[in-house]
Structure 1
Amino acid sequence: MLRKLKILLLIILLLIILVFGLLKTSLKKKHKYLKELLVSGSLGSYSSLAEDTIIKDDILFVMGTNTISHGSDSASTSRPISPYTVLNQGNGILFVETTEKRNPSSLVLCAIESAARVYPDRPVAFFIKGLNDITTEEEENRTRISFPTLSSYKNIYFFPLRMEELFMYTPLITWYKRVLPRWERFWTHVSSDACRFAMMWKYGGIYMDTDVISLHPVPTNNFIAAESFKFTSSSVFGLSPFHSLTWEFMQNFVENYRGNYWGYQGPRLFTRVMRRLCGNLKFKSVDDNVTCGNVSYLHPERFYPIVSSSWKIYFKVWQNLPTFNKSYGLHFWNYRNNEQETMVPGSNTLVEHLYQQHCPSTYGSILKKKVPSGV
């Protein structure tokens, strides 16, 4: 009897230790999440404070001002920096690279440079999987030196892409922990699809693929773009942080995951969610203001004046250059460029004119042979 009692007490003790461990882990996660919300300004009151609030080991620290002033050199380079301190206004322009590449093509550089020029008062964040950790402005400045073509733009920031950390506290984390990348046929693409949803949920702003050249600012904050009159685009969209539509996208991504089908987690996901929530949205003209709730649905002309089947004409000589006055940006359909068409200086092609006008630093680096011309 005494022996059974000892065993019972031992079991109870082990259960107490287990429960205590789980509570401690949960508390740490909650504190981390609270830190993210505080730094991002999503708790409301933080945005009116003049101090950074950091939670570490259950202690609240106050660390000076948190405002990042684009273009200012007066701040100490040892100050902490993170996506939350840079993107805390919810108006960032977001790009992502899900491979280990650290030497972007000229088209990627042009896309980021053109965005920095079109949105000079907004932070442009490039998340790259292959980067080392960046926690201070000094580390970010050192990373910036690795991208000399973009280094002169003070509103461009570089951050490492840490997928598990990015997906935490979203529906995507369960998918990420069970998926096996080596068995995924289109892992680079589906992981990019997932990243754009998580970034939009946590940071808000505008997401663009790295083959979208910006021409003019989008005049609305919450928007989805039509790729054609049949499909919705996944290459560019804008929403405020923690928007309910982004949550719908993430849930659909996980619940209807079919990674072996090209585009199923990208444009087809956008298309099926928008149809379910908004029905068949139709346009009468390019300027037609089509909305679903508080989200604008943009005409295909806004980003896709050149359709997928005609992508090669970007690399042709035009007798009369198009103005693209109705477009906010141009999607280059780079996934179709299996023939490795490039921007050739002196070719007088449409793509050369676009580089000259919208990403002059990138174009100049190509002329100096500091950047390969390939897209």
Structure 2
Amino acid sequence: MLKEIRIFSIILMITALGYISRTTIKSKGYYILEFLISNNSALVTMDNANGMSSPFSANTILREGNGILFMETTDRMDPPSLVLCAIESAARVYPDRPVAFFMKGLEDITTEEDEKRARQQFPTLSSYNNVYLFPLRMDKLFKNTPLKPWFDKVNPKREVYWTHVSSDACRFALMWKYGGIYMDADVISLYPIPQDHFVAAETFTTTSSSVFGLSPHYQLAWQFMENFVENYRGEIWGHQGPGVFTRVVKKLCGMPVFNSTDDVMCTNISYFHPQRFYPILYPSWRRYFEVWQNLPTFNYSYALHLWNFMNKEGKSMVPGSNTLVEHLYQKQCPTTYGYILRNEKTHI
């Protein structure tokens, strides 16, 4: 009997020790899990504080790499109607894609109130739910790219074409980081561009820098940035924009030859015919501000570049003028046209 009691006591002790051990392990596991959850929450909070996971950040809105990108590299916060028309036309042609306008003069956007306040400054754009405004911070944009060492040492005050040179650099970095389609702010969209990866001919011997499309972190964008830095000549107009594109394209596939209005290929991306964006070449830029007896159809064009840099005379769209540009405004950016027609402010 005594022997049986001893055996029962030993079994009871082993059972108790097992229960205590399991409870301890479970408790430790709970605290480990709680620690991981707590720290993960802290990391998420830190990300939000840095704007990395904010629902209003470019990283979030443009995460699918399908954005239509515009930018303003000056501190100007009252863009002319052509800029507003370009953005509105893109918002209408690409209703299912985010249209992003990066502005150097825009304050940081981290909250819903910041986003609403920014949109309200541009009433012609505020009705389009796919239009987003983001601040343009070059020092952050160029980080971890070949452009950063150049940007750190360049002196903007000594640059002849700083606004344009910095714009050239920004478009390469924006496309490397976010991907999508980049457009100059004087490009009015007509029809959706069917390809995701493309560059375009401006003439039969030069490649355009005004419109191009790539995926995020596409190697070609990196090559553009490297060429920009290696061959930097900021005092030569166009050397850092069309010059970069032309030099890289020639290196990759020679200068493509067009035998018709069809596009051709350069390695594995489309090389668009000049008709796609430049049916009216820069020497004839005034044609946009003239009355046409028969309006062109632009059947071979996805968008139109209006050569704003050439417009030293300050020509603009005038309601009732019956010019080509008025017809483009009426059809492609009717909200902007309506505000101008009623003489209402397009910027608050």
TM-score range normalised by the length of the shorter chain:
0.7 to 0.9
User: TM-score, normalised to structure 2's length?
Assistant: 0.84
Question: CA separation in 2, counterparts of 1:289 and 1:317?
Answer: 30
Paired letter, 2:65: G
Residue equivalent to 1:39: none
Q: Does 1:100 align with 2:92?
A: no
Question: CA separation in 2, counterparts of 1:309 and 1:299?
Answer: 18
Q: Does 1:306 align with 2:289?
A: no
Q: Does 1:222 align with 2:205?
A: no
Q: Does 1:324 align with 2:298?
A: yes
Residue equivalent to 1:346: 320
Alignment CA distance shift 1:93-1:57 (3 Å): same
Question: CA separation in 1, counterparts of 2:234 and 2:345?
Answer: 34
Whose helix fraction is larger, Structure 1's or Structure 2's?
Answer: 2
User: TM-score, normalised to structure 1's length?
Assistant: 0.78
**1:14-53 matches, cutoff 5 A:** none
Deviation string, structure 1 residues 125-181 (Cα, Å, up to 9, x no partner): 000000111012331111100000100000000011100000001100010000000
Paired letter, 1:362: T
Residue equivalent to 1:315: 289
- Return the match for 1:120 from 80, 91, 95: 95
Q: Residue 208 of structure 2 aligns to a residue in which SS? A: strand
Residue equivalent to 2:127: 152
Deviation string, structure 1 residues 36-79 (Cα, Å, up to 9, x no partner): xxxxxxxxxxxxxxxxxxxx99953289xxxxxxxxxxxxxx96
Pairwise CA RMSD: 1.9
Question: CA separation in 1, counterparts of 2:343 and 2:309?
Answer: 25
Q: Residue 115 of structure 1 aligns to a residue in which SS? A: helix
Tell me, yes or no, if the aligned pair for 1:106 and 1:371 is still in contact at 8 Å.
Answer: no
What are the ranges of 5 or more consecutive residues in structure 1 without an aligned counterpart? Answer: 1-55, 64-77
Residue equivalent to 1:200: 175
Q: Residue 123 of structure 2 aligns to a residue in which SS? A: coil
- Return the match for 1:81 from 56, 69, 73: 56
Residue equivalent to 2:163: 188
Residue equivalent to 2:213: 238
What are the ranges of 5 or more consecutive residues in structure 2 without an aligned counterpart? Answer: 1-38, 47-52
Alignment CA distance shift 1:79-1:259 (3 Å): closer
Paired letter, 2:147: L
Tell me, yes or no, if the aligned pair for 2:291 and 2:324 is still in contact at 8 Å.
Answer: yes
- Return the match for 2:44 from 50, 58, 61: 61
Paired letter, 1:295: I
Question: CA separation in 2, counterparts of 1:223 and 1:283?
Answer: 15
Q: Does 1:365 align with 2:339?
A: yes
Tell me, yes or no, if the aligned pair for 2:198 and 2:269 is still in contact at 8 Å.
Answer: yes
Tell me, yes or no, if the aligned pair for 2:252 and 2:267 is still in contact at 8 Å.
Answer: no
Instruction: Please list every run of at least 4 consecutive aligned residues from structure 1 whose deviation after the TM superposition is greater than 6 angstroms.
Output: none
Paired letter, 1:359: C
Question: CA separation in 2, counterparts of 1:274 and 1:243?
Answer: 15
Alignment CA distance shift 1:62-1:164 (3 Å): closer
Tell me, yes or no, if the aligned pair for 1:81 and 1:135 is still in contact at 8 Å.
Answer: yes
Question: CA separation in 2, counterparts of 1:57 and 1:370?
Answer: 50
Paired letter, 2:319: P
Residue equivalent to 2:11: none
Q: Identity of paired residues, percent?
A: 66
Question: CA separation in 2, counterparts of 1:323 and 1:181?
Answer: 42
Q: Does 1:209 align with 2:212?
A: no
